[in-house]
Amino acid sequence: MTKQNNYITSNKSSWCPGCSNFSIRAALIRAFSELNLKPHEISMVFDIGCAGNSCVLYNVYGFHGLHGRTVPLAVGAKLANNKLTVIGIAGDGGAYGEGLNHLVEAARSDYNITLIVSNNKLYSLTTGQASPTSERGTKTKSTPEGVNKTGLNPLLIALSAGAGFVARGYADEVEHLSGIFKKAINHKGFSLIDVLQPCITLDKKNTREWYQQRIYQLDDKWPVEDRNKAIIKVQEWGDKIPIGIFF
């Protein structure tokens, strides 16, 4: 096992104190360590946004690319050098808005990369506009009357496009999340992990408490090989929100 310290730089983060992105990073570093990956064997591609700003925190080969272009940048690196472990980090704005076309393509192409999305249902870095996953009615700076569109379900999109590994995690469930990451990295093909990541500064509705009351883990016997069941399950949202590997 490689020590967790080896995967982090001494840089300071630009996140708000207590940001749930810290938990995601902790889970990922733990996965690296438990998989005993060497830092120089890991190539991470970062989007633009709060999530992507973790680029300075990881002591691995990194590429801080353009907003929405994490997937093609990561795919290019993986296709060029199959030996690399390639991981993309993006926000919901980048992954499901600006770059949705790339997500669909990666899912249907089954490129062997892992995409981790910090889904806070907002454009956080740009101070809180609506994102593609914001639910109908959500009032934000760009939608003062409330979002008048249907919120996207990214897992449904990935499943229908043919993705071979589709999971949802919750940022603060670090151990559970880390387990998902490990399986995703080991999965030979495209894997999407949508991580529910409450923005503690801008989101007054989907708070930590809100999520903690609702999330529950899929049980061990969940049939991960059944795409149709997964398609139904990922739509469960409301009083109860399942997390885990759906497919």
Partner 1 sequence: MKQRKTFTWKIGGEAGQGQQVAGLILGRTCLSSNLFSFIYSEYPSRLRGGLVTNQVSISSEPVDAISKKIDFLFALSQPALDSCKKDLNNNALVFYDSNKVKEIDKSLKKIKFIPLSLRDLAKENNINAFMLNSLILGISSVLFDFDIKLLKGEIRGFLGENNKSEDLIKSNERAIQIGYEYACKKLNLKSLFDIKSKLKSSKRIILTGNEAVAQGSVFSKCGFYSAYPMTPASSILHILAKQAKKNKMVVNHSEDEIAAINMAIGASWAGKRSMTGTSGGGFALMSEGLNLSAMSEAPLVIVNSQRPGPATGMATWTEQGDLQYLAKVGYGDFPRIILAPADAEESFYFTVLAFNLADIYQMPVFLLLDKYISESHKVISDFNLKNLKINRGKILTQEQLSKIKDYKRYSFSKDGVSPRSLPGQKNGIFLANGNEHDEYGFSIDGFSSDLRKKQMEKRHAKLNNISKDLPKPKLFGPSNTSLTLVGWGSVKGPVLEAMKELNNVNYIHIPAPFPLDKNSLLELLKNTKKTIVIENNYKGQLADLMQEVLPLRFKQRFNKYNGQQFFPEEIIELVKKEF
Ligand X SMILES: Cc1ncc(C[n+]2csc(CCOP(=O)(O)OP(=O)(O)O)c2C)c(N)n1
Binding site for ligand X (CB under 6 A): 47-51, 67, 91-94, 118, 120, 122-126, 131
Is 72 an interacting residue with respect to partner 1 (CB under 8 A)?
yes
Residue closer to ligand X by CB (options 118, 140) is 118
Nearer to ligand X, 52 or 244 (CB): 52
Residue 160's binding partner, choosing from ligand X, partner 1, none, with beta-carbon cut-off 5 to 8 A by kind? none
104 vs 156, beta carbon nearer partner 1: 104
The CB-of-96 to partner 1 minimum distance in angstroms stands at: 15
Contacts of partner 1 in 202-221 (CB under 8 A)? none
Closest contact distance (angstroms) between CB of 186 and partner 1 is 19
8 binds partner 1 (CB under 8 A): no
3-class SS letters over the chain: CCCHHHHECCCCCCCCCCCCHHHHHHHHHHHHHHHCCCHHHEEEEECCCCCHHHHHCECCEEEECCCCCHHHHHHHHHHHCCCCEEEEEEEHHHHHHHCHHHHHHHHHHCCCCEEEEEECCEECCCCCEECCCCCCCCCECCECCCCCCCCCCHHHHHHHHCCCEEEEEECCCHHHHHHHHHHHHHCCCCEEEEEECCCCCCCCCCCHHHHHHHEEECCCCCCCCCHHHHHHHCCCCCCCEEEEECC
- Tell me: does residue 74 bind partner 1 (CB under 8 A): yes
